[in-house]
Chain A
Amino acid sequence: MKHSVDFPVDREVLPVRSKAGGRIAALPDAPLPMPKQVLEHRQGWLATLRSLLFGTMARS
């Protein structure tokens, strides 16, 4: 391999430098976790039927 230079990395995300040479701030470092939801846990037919019969009227 001709070149094997790697660059030091000290940031997670993306500051950009402005035309004037000043730094543009990176996206705020403010993590907000998004827990994965469960969608493949199915509701039984009976429960669906129950909600079908009573669910529509239960809430306005």
Chain B
Amino acid sequence: MSVALRRAATLGFSATLSALACFLFIRFIAYDGNDLLDFPRTLMIAVSTFWLAYGVSSACIGVLARTPAPPPHVLRPASADGRRVAIVVPVYNEDPPSTFSRIAAMDSSLERIGAGPEFHFAVLSDTTSSEVAQQEAAWFERLVGDRAAEGRMFYRRRPVNTGKKAGNIEDFISRSGGAYDYVLILDADSLMEGETILEMVRRMDADPKLGLLQTLPTIIHAQSFFGRAMQFSASYYSPIYARGLAWLQGREGPFWGHNAMVRTAAFAASCGLPVLSGKPPFGGHILSHDFVEAALLRRAGWDVYMLADLQGSYEESPPSLIDLSARDRRWCQGNLQHMRVIMAKGLKLPTRQHFATGIMSYLASPFWLFQLIVGIALVLQTTYIRPEYFARDFRLYPIWPRFDPERALALFALTMGILLAPKIFGLILMLLRRADRRASGGGIRLVLSSLIEMFLSALLAPILMLIQSGSVFQILLGRDTGWQPQRRDDGSIPFKDIVRRHRAHTVLGVLAGISAFMIATSLFLWMSPTILGLLLAIPLSWLSGQLGAGLALKRLGLLLTPEESQPPAIATRANELQIRNAAFGFDDEDGLKALYADEILRERHCEMLPSAPPRKRGVIETERALAEAKLVDAETIDEASSWLHPKERMVVLHDRALLNMLVHLKPRPPEAQAAE
């Protein structure tokens, strides 16, 4: 069956399910005594169900479909056959020991299969913290020494992170892309086996029309309760979803921004991202750049393909609900920004559909919220306001408004069926596969783990719905930035911040619960999953980030994934290196003081700095001017270090003249020196 026919059949199936949901909904609301909002409510049901059904269809197809035929390739000896490949790792205030441990592990994995020399690593830093930047430089130097990687490992830092990650990659390709046939784009938490990288090169090599090859990263290293639940869910659900997606999309596949290889010339020629007119959140730099880059490659005639079954590609996931919601805020803004480009000239139809799916994944939440609010309002109305028993048209009998539990149940069953079908299919597949079943702790533990995961997802769903609805409203009101969690030294989020983040959700849960109970017990029961999730928002969010809960379940063999039972070799290696690196312990150093004290470090640091463009007369950069003024005023390095704010510290770190001022400061106060 051609890809177009597959797609048409899936769209048809989704439309049928959507129509069925509408039919059940109309049957349900026909006797509620209110017609005013019936049309928008039905429309929202139609759109939401269609979107849900399309996603679920992909997953169901993934269960049934055979693995799609990959692009042809010729098996070659273990080498990139003279091709030069850049493995780029964009970083932004990440933990340097972890990032550099992963790079060392990947380099080691490539070396083991004899494929080292053709693969260059480039750490592209957009880090804005002077301390982290300083650590990155120090760790990089250690990495190059440890791996004897002079000439094939690079580090560069941009003083200003224009265009964020997309701008970072673009900067690399514009400067150095001509030296490489392919670029493997990673995230700071990505990890890939050498053999996987080499296989991607082979596939790209054998398929000259292929512009981008995306792998399906497996989530590893989760420890917290929430992280392990997501990891478990992804381990049995993601492969079937991705296989279905690959079957449906063929060579018009997705790009998820990392763990993917691009043909450098194709990417450079097609993916120069414009700055959209107007201000953020809808204008400015494109945030969710990956979807747009895939669209541009397709527009230029290049194929974009997902290798759903290629093993050896890993990533990590957010450890708590709050971390997920902070990431979600960025993705929400990025996806809604696609409304500006969805109609761009020349885009392929499946591309527009990708954009629409991404937009809908966030609009679905306010739709659900609207349904809930209208539902409560209508029940309130029928309870406290005298209904219209006699319609304007002639009828023999009065209209008796009623809440029909049987019809409501039919609609509920259909929705639950759509939501749970892929998870249940995925679970059945895991149970049928002996190796997977054993690696997940056996059949009983697998079923128990699935129940825990589904229960947690159901409780978290209304909280996420409110968070996403809030994000959508904020963005529609033109607010560019979202809430960022504060962190303790151990990386956890303070309890008072969790309370502040979720107190409104809890209040809403209490109000909804009391209102529903006052109106009718049946309504309370009907809404209880939503109410319970909201009431428990604070403890659930706190529990989600707890390492203890995650590890306790691990000890019981619950939420276990095959990668946890038998960790991939590369993950074990990266862990070992990270533990060793953590023992070195120079992470807490003050970056500026380290440069002040160590002349050799300072000299190397200055050599790494890119040339500063000549300053335009009359243009004063606030941070630089303030940093310079503070350095002039300071007498000791301690004073300067305590006076400079983070942005000013970063300016000093990137400016040779300011660094020179810094090194001329005294080490301690004059009176202390005089006393000596």
B-contacting residues of A (Cβ < 8 Å)?
1-7, 9, 11-19, 22-43, 48, 51-52, 55-60
CB-based contact B276/A26 at 8 Å: no
CB-based contact A2/B4 at 8 Å: no
- Hey, which chain B residues are within 8 Å of A33, CB to CB? 174, 268, 272
- Hey, which chain B residues are within 8 Å of A24, CB to CB? 144, 150-151, 153-154
CB-based contact B151/A25 at 8 Å: yes
Say yes or no: is B670 at the interface (Cβ < 8 Å to chain A): no
Contacts A4-B657, A18-B145, A18-B150 given; indicate if A37 touches B296 (C-beta within 8 A): yes
CB-based contact B268/A59 at 8 Å: no
Interface core residue of A14, A32, A35, A41 (most chain B CB under 10 Å): A32
Query: How far, in angstroms, from A56 to B326 measured CA to CA in the complex?
Result: 36
Interface core residue of B4, B276, B349 (most chain A CB under 10 Å): B349
Contacts A30-B176, A30-B178 given; indicate if A17 touches B607 (C-beta within 8 A): yes
CB-based contact B178/A32 at 8 Å: yes
- Hey, which chain A residues are within 8 Å of B179, CB to CB? 28, 30
CB-based contact B274/A40 at 8 Å: yes
CB-based contact A31/B175 at 8 Å: yes
CB-based contact A39/B611 at 8 Å: no
Contacts A40-B277, A56-B4 given; indicate if A15 touches B122 (C-beta within 8 A): no
Query: How far, in angstroms, from A59 to B348 measured CA to CA in the complex?
Result: 10
A-contacting residues of B (Cβ < 8 Å)?
2-5, 7-8, 122, 137, 140-141, 144-145, 150-151, 153-156, 170, 172-180, 250, 264-265, 267-274, 276-277, 292, 296, 340-341, 343-349, 352, 603-604, 606-612, 628, 632, 656-657, 660-661, 664
CB-based contact B272/A3 at 8 Å: no
Rounded to whole Å, the gap between the CB of A13 and the closest CB of chain B is: 6
- Hey, which chain A residues are within 8 Å of B348, CB to CB? 55, 59
Query: How far, in angstroms, from A29 to B4 measured CA to CA in the complex?
Result: 43
CB-based contact A27/B607 at 8 Å: no
Name the residue of chain A whose CB is nearest to the CB of B7: A56
- Hey, which chain A residues are within 8 Å of B174, CB to CB? 31-34
Name the residue of chain A whose CB is nearest to the CB of B629: A1
Of all A-B residue pairs in the complex, the 3 with the closest CB atoms, nearest first, are A30-B178, A60-B2, A32-B177
Interface core residue of A2, A3, A57 (most chain B CB under 10 Å): A3
Contacts A7-B656, A32-B174, A55-B349 given; indicate if A60 touches B4 (C-beta within 8 A): yes
Query: How far, in angstroms, from A24 to B154 measured CA to CA in the complex?
Result: 8
Contacts A16-B607, A43-B345 given; indicate if A60 touches B176 (C-beta within 8 A): no
CB-based contact B175/A27 at 8 Å: yes
Our pick among B176, B343, B607 for the contact of A48 (Cβ within 8 Å) is: B343
Query: How far, in angstroms, from A58 to B218 measured CA to CA in the complex?
Result: 35
- Hey, which chain B residues are within 8 Å of A13, CB to CB? 156, 175-176, 610
Contacts A3-B660, A48-B343 given; indicate if A32 touches B274 (C-beta within 8 A): no
A14-B609, A14-B610 known, 6 other contacts, Cβ within 8 Å: A24-B151, A29-B175, A33-B174, A35-B272, A39-B274, A41-B344
- Hey, which chain A residues are within 8 Å of B3, CB to CB? 59-60
- Hey, which chain B residues are within 8 Å of A27, CB to CB? 122, 154, 156, 172, 175-176
- Hey, which chain A residues are within 8 Å of B656, CB to CB? 5-7
Our pick among A9, A19, A28, A37 for the contact of B270 (Cβ within 8 Å) is: A37
- Hey, which chain A residues are within 8 Å of B610, CB to CB? 11-14
- Hey, which chain B residues are within 8 Å of A6, CB to CB? 656-657
Query: How far, in angstroms, from A59 to B172 measured CA to CA in the complex?
Result: 34
